[in-house]
Structure 1
Amino acid sequence: MADTAAVKARIRQAFHRAAGTYDQAAVVQREVCQYLADFAASYPCPGPLERVLDAGCGTGHALPLLAARYPQADLLALDFASGMLAHVRGHLRVCGDLEQLPLAAASMDAVWSSLAAQWCRPQALFGELARVLRPRGMAWIATLGPETLCELRDAFRAVDDLPHAIDFHCPQTWQRAAEDAGFAVCGLLRRPCAALDTDLRGLLRHIKAIGAHTVSHTPRTPLGREAWHRLARRYERWRRPDGLLPATYDVILLALERRP
């Protein structure tokens, strides 16, 4: 994904506007959050765990889970969309960019980040996480791989050659960036997860309702009737035996330890 101020501003605004609809639509996001919790349990933080950062917390749906899992820890909720942070209750909140964390060096014992890393440059993200984590601190990350929204990418080929989803990084790119930043990769897992609906309009409403529809800084012209019909016809090839249409998320889970 191009890293420009214009793109970041549009992404931030999209998530800000989606804050009111996010929780109702975030079925996949809650499922991935549970995947990450189960995954993280296999890679506990060595040493005391007093300060945990939820990096890209959204409306804070992971915070009750983290509070139950780490009752002794102070939780810090960070997101770059102020509208999302406004829904967080009962925890310290910070509005900030994951690529420029407004936190002191070695100030965190662990970092949790579920479905936020894909909006960042891997090198910049892991450089910041390594900076704010204490030596041997843990980072548990859920991000997205290149097969995400593969059905939508395929269907749009019947319409035009423009990008209609961001270019997600492969697991090897995430792993190399983490190691270059000073992390040991303790665990890496890849698994699919799918949003489901009876029709394509419902799936696209889901993507928009969680704020994840920004691709570039170039405004898009709405599809005309004929283009929409071509898109919908092409997407039908993905309809499942149970009658539902999927939008697949290629989920990558990482457990990282900050090297001393």
Structure 2
Amino acid sequence: MNPSTPTADYLEKRAIRRAFDQAASSYEASAVLQDQVGQQLIERLDLVKLEPQWILDLGCGTGLQSRRLNSRYPKARVLAVDLSAGMLRVARQRKNWRQRQHYCQGDAEQLPLATASMDLLYANMSIQWCNDLDQVLRELARVLRPGGLLMFSTLGPDTLTELRQSFASLDDHPHVSQFLDMHDIGDALVRQGYEMPVLDVEHYQLTYVTLDDLLRDLRKVGATNARAGRPRGLLTPARLQKLRDAYETFRSQGRLPATYEVVYGHAWSSGPRPVPREDGAVVLPLTRISRRA
């Protein structure tokens, strides 16, 4: 999520897209945590006064939160954007015909959207799938209207710590994505000119009977390893058993825990920021340039 990230940690968008395409039909039934976090994120809108005309649901998945946003703001139009065409296909199928929703396949780091076109930008558990957080926030600031609201959730570094430690007993390859600390995210919001950023963290724990149940759940929501340095082969039976044995050390009260650190945040847009070029010139967004009479 940072341009200085080592090559092995770089997230391959093609692998991410393929995993979510494959998970589209099973996603909503398995995305228990994503659904709970998404609902809490929408409930936090109670704390702000906002009547958006256009809402961007970034990383909309199968459109569950898009439908809820449309129910909350029935006069608004919701633009559901996702990297995965498979997810968008399911989202279209599940939309209520009365709801005003539109769909667009796109990458958060290069949004195919007009500048200053959105009033509310909602991003539930999606920006952790990007490589450059500053670039993402810069893009979101670009498409938000001045005074627009960014409301997001993402994953922090304690996420899947048990699985990360268990894989470390097998080899030194990256098996679990790296996630940014809340303070790093806050610093990035400030760098990109957002106003009044507010962030907090909550920890969640899902429990499973076996490690295989956890791995199956991760596949069903598309949360597979997309890092460039990931091992390319399947786990052999011997290595899988070794992973099971390592994970067993975390068993408590008959269940295996899976910890998730969720970072919640919101901030207000002051409008697109000027972008410095390599030659030192500053490129102003078109919405900032006034025409002389």
- TM-score interval (norm. to shorter): over 0.9
User: What letter is aligned with 2:144?
Assistant: L
**Structure 2 length-normalised TM:** 0.83
Q: Does 1:138 align with 2:149?
A: yes
State the distance in 2 between where 1:246 and 1:38 align. 27
Equivalent residue in structure 1 for 2:133, among 122, 126, 150: 122
Equivalent residue in structure 1 for 2:77, among 74, 78, 91: 74
State the distance in 2 between where 1:174 and 1:117 align. 11
Which portions of structure 1, spanning 4 or more consecutive aligned residues, are displaced by more than 3 angstroms? Answer: 1-6
State the distance in 2 between where 1:154 and 1:130 align. 36
Moved more, 64-73 or 115-124: 64-73
The answer as to whether partners of 1:185 and 1:254 remain within 8 angstroms in 2 is no
User: What letter is aligned with 1:41?
Assistant: D
Q: Residues 167, 78 of structure 1: CA spacing in aligned structure 2 closer, same or farther, 3 A cutoff?
A: same
State the distance in 1 between where 2:171 and 2:11 align. 24
Residue 234 of structure 1, CA deviation: 1.5
User: What letter is aligned with 1:199?
Assistant: T
Residue 230 of structure 1, CA deviation: 2.0
Residue 219 of structure 1, CA deviation: 4.7
Aligned CA-pair RMSD: 1.8
Stretches of structure 1 lacking an aligned partner (at least 5 in a row): none
Within 5 A, what are the aligned runs for 1:235-246?
A: 235-241=247-253, 243-246=254-257
Percent identical residues: 37
State the distance in 1 between where 2:191 and 2:117 align. 21
State the distance in 1 between where 2:212 and 2:11 align. 28
Q: For residue 53 of structure 2, what is the aligned residue in structure 1?
A: 50
Q: For residue 214 of structure 2, what is the aligned residue in structure 1?
A: 203
Q: For residue 107 of structure 1, what is the aligned residue in structure 2?
A: 117
Deviation per residue, 1:138-178 (Å, 9 max, x gap): 01001001111101011112211111111111111111111
Equivalent residue in structure 2 for 1:14, among 14, 19, 24: 19
Q: In the comparison of the two structures, how many residue pairs are matched? A: 257
Q: Indicate the structure (1 or 2) with the bigger Cα radius of gyration.
A: 2
Residue 253 of structure 1, CA deviation: 0.5
Equivalent residue in structure 2 for 1:38, among 34, 43, 56: 43
Structure 2 SS opposite 1:167: coil
Residue 232 of structure 1, CA deviation: 1.1
The answer as to whether partners of 1:192 and 1:251 remain within 8 angstroms in 2 is yes
Q: Does 1:220 align with 2:232?
A: yes
Stretches of structure 2 lacking an aligned partner (at least 5 in a row): 96-100, 272-293
The answer as to whether partners of 2:22 and 2:222 remain within 8 angstroms in 1 is yes
Q: Residues 171, 6 of structure 1: CA spacing in aligned structure 2 closer, same or farther, 3 A cutoff?
A: closer
The answer as to whether partners of 2:186 and 2:197 remain within 8 angstroms in 1 is no
